[in-house]
Amino acid sequence: MAGLEERPPFEILEHTADIGLRARGRTPEELFENAAAGLLEILGAAAREGSTDVEITEEADDPAALLVHFLDELIYLVDARGARIAAITVRLQAPTRLRARVTWTASGEPLGGTELKAATFHQLSLEERPDGYVATVFFDV
């Protein structure tokens, strides 16, 4: 399981009031993992090492909504539990069903980045392209 900081690409997008993310992946799993890495960068909630493992299971009507629910789950962990996340492995059991393992440690310190309220459905997209998968999601700051 590679550390998140070694993983490739996501871009952080500008929005008048909020922040967006464009993530890519060769597989849907990699797309979800890269989106998570982008989220952690915005939050400043990545950790070098984790002490606890938690399993997240999510189901949605469509893959884009699944991504929103997954990212919301991570925001919840960070906000409610003070989680600082060291690694995430995603397994898609179907395009709309996910199981992820999150390795994290609790922190009482303030976040290193921007606090986010939630992932939104605004201009949400998740597409398969010839070279892989691309998703765009905006967060409410």
# of chain residues touching other proteins (CB under 8 A):
31
Select 33 or 72, whichever has its Cβ closest to other proteins: 72
User: Cα–Cα distance between 99 and 88 in angstroms, integer?
Assistant: 10
Cβ atoms of 23 and 38 within 8 Å: the answer is yes
61 sits near other proteins (criterion: CB under 8 A): yes
54 sits near other proteins (criterion: CB under 8 A): no
Select 83 or 90, whichever has its Cβ closest to other proteins: 83
Select 1 or 17, whichever has its Cβ closest to other proteins: 17
Handedness of CA 23, 35, 10, 94 (dihedral sign): negative
82 sits near other proteins (criterion: CB under 8 A): yes
Binding segment for other proteins (CB under 8 A), chosen from 48-56, 93-101, 116-124, 126-134, is 116-124
Tokens representing residue 47 in the block: 């950790």
79 sits near other proteins (criterion: CB under 8 A): yes
Burial per residue of 5-42, b for 16 or more beta-carbon CB atoms within 10 angstroms, e otherwise: eebeebeebeeeebbbbbbbbeebbbbbbbbbbbbbbb
- Taking Cα atoms as reference points, which of 126, 129, 133, 36 lies closest to residue 85? 36
Q: Which residues bind other proteins (CB under 8 A)?
A: 12, 14-19, 61, 65, 69, 72, 76, 79-80, 82, 108-111, 114-115, 117-118, 120-124, 138, 140-141
